[in-house]
Structure 1
Amino acid sequence: MANSPQAKKRARQNEKRFAVNKARRSRIRTYLRKVEEAIAGGDQAAAAEALKQAQPELMRGVTKGVIHKNTAARKMSRLSHRVKALGA
């Protein structure tokens, strides 16, 4: 348990930050799920549009420190490859 005033403050800050990061992660996952569903539906136009909307959300997660840069790049690469394969 935090005893010093600064430790108590850090605990409060950590709770707030955790809530913000959790919401941001959830938002990113929602956008990624929309892309997955569009791919599963077989509609390339919808999948491409969903991917276009998911990319800024992923990159925002990177700049905010929620996910690692390489993780976001890997997810974008794999999703775009799958969307491209729908058209072939």
Structure 2
Amino acid sequence: MPRPSVRLWKRAVTAGGHEQADGNAAALARESALLLLRRSVDMGHRRLALIRLLEAIRLQAEVPPEHWAHCRAVIGRVTDPELRAAYSEPEQRSNACGIA
């Protein structure tokens, strides 16, 4: 994926991720967050994939089960306690809802 696409996705996430964003910007932000997450998973990123998963969740995107599985597989290798804590709550919610 060319870097310009990644930059556009990041900009869309930023623009649509605040409370004043209109419905179109918010939808584009969710879609862009999922594209960034998919790219990170496809490239085998660990920490970045977790960060992007959390961003997608914050934007209320529907995260595919395979992305949850990737993040679940790598969380044990992450040493950052803040990132581990940030991941644990949404992961527990997704398990309770049968999403992940």
What TM-score do the two structures reach when normalised by structure 2? 0.45
Bigger share in helix:
1
**Structure of larger gyration radius:** 1
What TM-score do the two structures reach when normalised by structure 1? 0.50
Which has the higher relative contact order, 1 or 2, with Cα contacts under 8 A spaced 6 or more apart?
Answer: 1
